[in-house]
A = this chain, B = another copy of it.
């Protein structure tokens, strides 16, 4: 919350506390970075079966969702206001469908050699791939839910390798 502060000169400083900013990463070393994120899309088994078969009104959903995820990863700094621009060296989006359970699991991997991590790139990739799946099945099932969007693993940077449960 922005907290205006009145200073003796009568000028109102709005930036005292809470002011959003892109934090300075200029002094951090360039290291290899990896992040793996995951999302789940829950639908009816019959819809998941059509997803696997590529039999949906807008066409075969899986390649579209993977490409949408890859492209979104590259645009992360445009979408997430305080993210730094990062030259990604690799992005992969994988979708595994368990038709019986009615679940599509989206896994996204982002890599870079940079001063800051690529968690947001991986998280954005899986979110947008999941949204695209939603878009492509929504004509068939309206109450599909995207859930468990989370980071699974990251390597590089000060915190080193981290595996999340």
Interface residues of A (CB under 8 A from B): 1-4, 10-15, 17-26, 32, 52-55, 57-64, 66-68, 70-72, 74-75, 77-100, 111-115, 119-120, 123-124, 127-128, 130-132, 134-136, 138, 142-151, 162, 164-165
> What is the interface of chain A mostly: helix, strand, loop, or mixed?
mixed
Can you report 29 residue pairs joining A to B where beta carbons are below 8 Å apart? A1-B1, A1-B3, A11-B96, A13-B96, A18-B54, A18-B60, A20-B60, A20-B63, A20-B66, A21-B58, A22-B91, A23-B57, A25-B89, A26-B90, A59-B82, A63-B63, A68-B81, A71-B79, A74-B78, A80-B132, A81-B132, A82-B132, A85-B87, A85-B88, A86-B87, A142-B151, A143-B151, A145-B150, A146-B149
